[in-house]
Amino acid sequence: MPSHSSNASNAMLPSKRLKVLLSAVLYNRKTLDMRKYDF
């Protein structure tokens, strides 16, 4: 049972990292767009 619970927590980590990565990418894209429109 403990191994299964650890597996679930491990499976949750990647999605969390993915969300953080996605938000970072979106934020960078927004700043890039602002720079683009600045020129």
**Torsion sign over Cα 25, 29, 35, 38:** negative
pTM value is: 0.45
pLDDT digits (tens, 9 = 90+) for 16-31: 888 998 898 888 888 8
Predicted confidence at residue 5, as pLDDT, reads: 57
CA distances from 18 to 5, 14, 29, 34 (A): 21, 6, 16, 24
CA distances from 36 to 11, 24, 28 (A): 38, 18, 12
